[in-house]
Structure 1
Amino acid sequence: MLRYIIRRVLWAIPILIGVSIVSFFIIQLPPGNYLTALMASMRATGESVDMSQLQTLSERYGLDEPMIVQYWKWISGIVLRGDFGQSFLYTRPVSDLLWERLGLTFILAFTSMIFVWLIAFPIGVYSAVRKYSIGDYVMTFVGFIGLATPNFLIALILMYVSFTVFGQSAGGLFSPQYLDAPWSWAKFADMMSKIWIPVVVIGTAGTAALIRIMRANMLDELPKTYVDAARARGLSGAHAVTKYPLRVALNPFVSRIGWELPELISGATITAIVLSLPTTGPLLLEALLAQDMYLAGSFIMMLSVLTVIGTLISDLLLAWLDPRIRQGVVG
């Protein structure tokens, strides 16, 4: 197992280097750069363009240098000094923008994952054990509705219901008096009172998908011989189901971690915009539209790192959970 971990970590290094190169150059593909986009925006609003100021900014950030030089300045700053660069759009260090949004995004993503697991786990098992029952048909119908309905549409419906029925806005994570207030128990309680709407919206599609996956995996395992053998040895029906087939069917729940971490950065961007959530997705979209190369590149780099880490964690947990995978790793 240790050799497997070391091999995976060593493979991750060239992958991250390649992803950083590709992502940085993709950001540079549109014609012009942040300064040309800024000039076009100023002219569209009738503002005067100070060419000397733009030239100063270009020299400061090396925008007049070749892309390979710009890339080296960016990646060497990250690796050697932990400096992600300066955001052109917000005129602030990228690291400040990154970390202030990442905390709220993590809370939202983690809460959504727990919600998905708590709902999908028992419903999927019930639908498999009681297949073709009325409850199974009802859960299947609800699951198909959840898969077919876009998350942003559910967000719009909940916002409308919240405003018309309860007279409250469902947007954002904080009440107006807590938006700029320092963290306190009152602010945390206010966030938890509002977080359930984005959690339900973001978790709907994932819950519906995992219910179907859990049901299908359980139906594949229940007819197998080892389940009949467990029952023949005197195990009760519930014990025979939970001890063996359920453990194998848990694989999709564990493998979900592999893409749950990258969703901290990119997940549910449209839903976050609709609900006015202060998460990383809308900020990444703004950076891409404005060609803010340091901010967008840092987000994409963070997305790649979290993808590699999440995949490694899910693989290790799967090897621990499933003896078949563990034997394959050891061999």
Structure 2
Amino acid sequence: MANYIVKRIILAFFTTAAISVLSFVVIQLPKGDYVDWYVEDLMQKGDHISLAQAQNIREYYGLDKPMLLQYGMWMWRMSSLDFGYGFEGQKPVEEQIAEKLPTTIALVAFTTVITWLFAIPVGIYTAMRQHTVEDYTMTFLGFIGLAVPDFLLGLLMMYIFFKYFDFSVGGLFSSQYEYAPWSWDKFVDLCQHMIIPAVVLGTAGTAGLIRTMRNNLLDELAKPYVLTARSKGLRGWRVIVKYPVRVALNPFISGIGGVLPSLVSGSVIVSFVLSLPTLGPLLLNSIQRQDMYLAGTIILMLGALTVLGFLISDLMLVLVDPRIKFEGKE
């Protein structure tokens, strides 16, 4: 086990390094740089700066240097946990990320929990009720969940909750708790505001996971070891939960690593619609401005967390599925 973890950590290091190079290069692929965007933005607002001022800004941020040298300087500062300053607002990158990260993590946690709590039982139930009205109904609802865009579902839920329940969905808190000190009531209000975006973001994923759980469980139930267990006297839910469900959970566990980046990228529009301070809009805006330090740091952080997530999911798979060994032998 120790050798396996060491190998994965070494692989994770090189993977993260490759992500840092790719993210830094891709952000700078579009024509121009942040200064060009800044000058154009000023012109749209009816203001302007001279070419000399623009060049001074470019030299101040080091944008006049070759890309390889810029990357080396960025990595050198990163080695001492100095993430630099974002171009817009001149705030440290770590401060800008710290403002959005708690909300993002909370939203990811809420979405994952709601998705799993609904998808796993429903997937098991539809597998046990194959070709029944319940199975067809859940399949139909699942396809609707996959087809409805997240932003449209968000707008619809905002309207329903505001119209019929007199509950404001946008933002993290109701107006009376936004600047109030932390209390139990404020925490409950936060949870209430998190449920709606979690449901919106998790709808499509839930529909897909229900189908995955159903199909995997049906495949396992048809295998000889299940028939053998039943012939030895195991009946009902005992024979299902003991082995088939554990094996059918593999896609859920193996997908842990991709949860954070997929939700961050998928939450951009939903965050705009629901006024949520998450990393998604911050990443989008920084990429549009070609803010390589802010955007590159966010992408690198998401990549590192993804690599860590896949390592954790692989370790969990070994614990859940007895067929999987640390050295990859079954």
TM bracket, shorter-chain basis: over 0.9
Once the two structures are TM-superposed, the CA of residue 229 in structure 1 deviates from its matched residue by 1.2
Q: In the alignment, which residue of structure 2 is the partner of 1:214?
A: 213
Q: How does 1:99-118 map to 2 (within 5 A)?
A: 99-118=98-117
Once the two structures are TM-superposed, the CA of residue 149 in structure 1 deviates from its matched residue by 1.4
Structure 2: distance between partners of 1:12 and 1:65: 30
Q: In the alignment, which residue of structure 2 is the partner of 1:20?
A: 20
Structure 2: distance between partners of 1:161 and 1:173: 18
Structure 1: distance between partners of 2:118 and 2:101: 26
Q: SS at 2:199's partner residue? A: helix
Once the two structures are TM-superposed, the CA of residue 181 in structure 1 deviates from its matched residue by 5.0
Deviations 1:78-120 (A, max 9, x none): 12x1111100113100101112211111111101111011101
Q: In the alignment, which residue of structure 2 is the partner of 1:329?
A: 328
Q: SS at 2:315's partner residue? A: helix
Structure 2: distance between partners of 1:144 and 1:83: 46
Q: SS at 1:85's partner residue? A: coil
Q: SS at 1:277's partner residue? A: coil
Once the two structures are TM-superposed, the CA of residue 50 in structure 1 deviates from its matched residue by 5.4
- In structure 2, the gaps of 5 or more residues are none
Deviations 1:119-176 (A, max 9, x none): 0111110111111122111111111111121211111111222233334432222223
Once the two structures are TM-superposed, the CA of residue 63 in structure 1 deviates from its matched residue by 1.4
Q: SS at 1:262's partner residue? A: helix
Amino acid at match of 2:285: E
Q: In the alignment, which residue of structure 1 is the partner of 2:41?
A: 41
Question: Contact 1:266–1:303 at 8 Å: present in 2 too?
Answer: no
Q: How does 1:79-90 map to 2 (within 5 A)?
A: 79=79, 81-90=80-89
Amino acid at match of 2:18: G
Q: Tell me whether 1:31 sits opposite 2:41 in the alignment.
A: no
Q: In the alignment, which residue of structure 1 is the partner of 2:241?
A: 242
Q: In the alignment, which residue of structure 2 is the partner of 1:308?
A: 307
TM-score, structure 1 as length reference: 0.94
Structure 1: distance between partners of 2:12 and 2:191: 36
Once the two structures are TM-superposed, the CA of residue 180 in structure 1 deviates from its matched residue by 4.8
Q: Tell me whether 1:175 sits opposite 2:183 in the alignment.
A: no
Q: In the alignment, which residue of structure 2 is the partner of 1:127?
A: 126
Deviates more, 1:102-111 or 1:264-273: 264-273
Question: Contact 1:102–1:264 at 8 Å: present in 2 too?
Answer: no
Q: SS at 2:63's partner residue? A: coil
Amino acid at match of 2:220: E
Once the two structures are TM-superposed, the CA of residue 263 in structure 1 deviates from its matched residue by 3.6
Distance 1:182 1:84, change over 3 A: farther
**Count of residue pairs brought into register by the alignment:** 330
Structure 2: distance between partners of 1:147 and 1:66: 45
Structure 2: distance between partners of 1:110 and 1:193: 14
Q: How does 1:157-168 map to 2 (within 5 A)?
A: 157-168=156-167
Distance 1:300 1:86, change over 3 A: same
Structure 2: distance between partners of 1:179 and 1:31: 41
Distance 1:179 1:34, change over 3 A: farther
Q: In the alignment, which residue of structure 1 is the partner of 2:192?
A: 193
Q: In the alignment, which residue of structure 2 is the partner of 1:226?
A: 225
Structure 2: distance between partners of 1:95 and 1:184: 27
Once the two structures are TM-superposed, the CA of residue 330 in structure 1 deviates from its matched residue by 5.6
Question: Contact 2:39–2:48 at 8 Å: present in 1 too?
Answer: no
Deviates more, 1:182-191 or 1:40-49: 182-191
Distance 1:113 1:299, change over 3 A: same
Amino acid at match of 1:92: K
Q: In the alignment, which residue of structure 2 is the partner of 1:96?
A: 95
Deviates more, 1:157-166 or 1:39-48: 157-166
Percent of residue pairs bearing the same amino acid type: 49
**Please, what is the CA RMSD of the aligned residues?**
1.9
Question: Contact 1:120–1:210 at 8 Å: present in 2 too?
Answer: yes
Distance 1:78 1:177, change over 3 A: farther
Structure 1: distance between partners of 2:260 and 2:220: 29
Q: In the alignment, which residue of structure 2 is the partner of 1:7?
A: 7
Q: In the alignment, which residue of structure 1 is the partner of 2:74?
A: 74
Question: Contact 1:217–1:249 at 8 Å: present in 2 too?
Answer: yes
Structure 2: distance between partners of 1:282 and 1:182: 27
Distance 1:73 1:189, change over 3 A: same
Structure 2: distance between partners of 1:52 and 1:178: 48
Q: SS at 1:324's partner residue? A: coil
Distance 1:232 1:214, change over 3 A: same
TM-score, structure 2 as length reference: 0.94
